[in-house]
Amino acid sequence: MNSNYWAEKMFRGTYPATRQRKEGGKMKTNQQAGKQAGRFFAAMALATGMVLTQSAIAAGPAPVALGDAAPFTILAGAAITTTGGGMINGDVGASPITGAAIDLTAAQVNGTIYTVDNAGPAGSVMDPVRLTAAKSALYSR
């Protein structure tokens, strides 16, 4: 026998060591093992595609353009009160009610407090036109 004899047998898959392997108490040929591996990788590709699709669905709807209401953190049609803790980042407004119904101070708001009349807290700005436009923007959504 020449040295090419064993190389040729291994290349063709007829050499017993390369042809079969023991798995789970049974002998499997390389061809059977290859089919099993192919099914595994196909299942993994399908699962990956499903995960990517699910994450795209989970992203949710596009943000809504709030128009004139966008700068407001609180835009109310009733009284605004606080328990005294924390800061409010953004503008605060109440309409159509009186500014006296806003129970906040300018120190609690990192923004502007807008009212429809001059009865609001110290430092508030009376701008009924802006409040009406902001509320109209919300109602149109």
> Interior CA angle at 80 toward 75 and 86, to 5°?
95
CA 7 to chain centre: 57
pLDDT at residue 41, rounded to an integer: 66
26 contact partners, CB below 8 Å, separation of at least 6 = none
pTM, two decimal places: 0.54
Mean per-residue pLDDT over the chain, rounded: 75
Q: Rounded CA gap, 46 and 126, in Å?
A: 60
Average pLDDT value for residue range 36-58:
62
Average pLDDT value for residue range 1-18:
53
**Domain range list for the chain:** 3-58, 67-139
